[in-house]
Structure 1
Amino acid sequence: MPRRAYYLSHPQVLIDPDVAVGEWGLSDEGHARVAALIERGLPQVSMMFSSLEVKALETARPLADALGCPLITRAEMGENDRSATGFLPPAEFEATADRFFAEPDVSVRGWKTACAAQRRIVGAVEAALLETSGDALFVGHGAVGTLLYCALCDVGIDRRYDQGPGGGNVFDWQVGHAPKAGWRPMEDL
Structure 2
Amino acid sequence: MVRLTRIYTRTGDKGKTSLGDGARVDKHALRVEAYGTVDEANAVLGLARLHAEAGEHAILARIQNDLFDLGADLCTPPAGDEQPGTRLRVVQSQVDRLEAEIDAANAKLAPLESFILPAGTPLAAHLHHARTVVRRAERLITALAGREPVNPVAVAYVNRLSDLLFVLARAANAGGAADVLWTPGANR
Determine which structure has the larger strand proportion and give its number.
1
Structure scoring higher RCO (CA < 8 A, sep ≥ 6) equals 1
**What TM-score results when the alignment is normalised by the length of structure 1?**
0.29
Determine which structure has the larger helix proportion and give its number.
2
**What TM-score results when the alignment is normalised by the length of structure 2?**
0.29
Rg larger for: 2
